[in-house]
């Protein structure tokens, strides 16, 4: 199995950031603060366990939820909110922008907003056309991308590889992406405690977006 991915896959090149003016990739914190995020849930097999692990380390995270998964798992979504996590819109059907017209894409985004009330949006797969931005900015306060991609969904990686991806690249103000999905769970369940221990031992604070 591959231990880790090349750094350009973990931290997006600056040229990507130029394509999406106004999107947030990292927050310029002076203190040792990081922003943990989870995409694609809630999943009944994964999300409750993720919440438990976060609580063990007194960590907070922002969950970018797929509307259809919230529809299927409303009690888990309610638990996220009740336990002080933040939620964001991740479309209703995990829709890829590159495979749809702007109208169809925005319709799916709006459908998710019926289930996820939030001023935050993250595009599935990081896919956006620049001309999506004006319409999205009318709907959301912030469009959130990322500074560190854990690659926890990559079955060619080990849990140690996922932990390595984050620990090697995290810095003040980093927005880190994980996935509370069945696909990612075999690696995430071992990598997340290691990452949170590293952050705690190195005096990082976790805050909500």
List active site positions: 39, 179
Q: Which two tokens stand for residue 179?
A: 């996935």
Cα–Cα dist 167/3, whole Å: 13
> Cα–Cα distance between 153 and 7 in angstroms, integer?
16
d(CA 115, CA 39): 15
- Phi, psi angles (nearest 5°) of residue 34: -130, 160
- Joined together, the tokens standing for residue 41 give 């849930």
Question: Is 35 within 8 Å of 176 (Cβ atoms)?
Answer: yes
Q: How many CB atoms lie within 10 A of CB 41?
A: 29
């Amino acid at each position: 199995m591959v231990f880790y991915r090349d750094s350009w896959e973990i931290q997006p090149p600056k040229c990507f950031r130029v394509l999406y003016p106004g999107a947030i990739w990292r927050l310029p914190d002076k203190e040792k603060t990081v922003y943990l995020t989870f995409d694609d849930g809630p999943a009944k097999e994964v999300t409750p366990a993720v919440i438990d692990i976060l609580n063990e380390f007194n960590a907070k995270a922002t969950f970018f939820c797929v509307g259809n998964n919230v529809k299927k798992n409303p009690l888990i979504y309610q638990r996220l909110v009740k336990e002080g996590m933040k939620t964001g819109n991740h479309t209703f059907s995990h829709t890829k922008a590159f495979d749809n017209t702007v109208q169809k894409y925005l319709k799916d985004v709006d459908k998710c907003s019926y289930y996820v009330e939030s001023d935050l949006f993250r595009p599935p797969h990081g896919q956006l056309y620049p001309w999506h931005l004006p319409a999205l900015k009318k709907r959301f306060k912030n469009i959130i991308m990322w500074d560190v991609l854990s690659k926890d969904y990559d079955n060619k990686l080990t849990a140690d590889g996922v932990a390595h991806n984050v620990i090697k690249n995290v810095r003040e103000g980093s927005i880190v992406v994980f996935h509370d999905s069945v696909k990612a769970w075999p690696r995430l369940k071992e990598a997340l405690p290691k990452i949170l221990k590293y952050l705690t031992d190195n005096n990082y604070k976790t805050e909500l977006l």
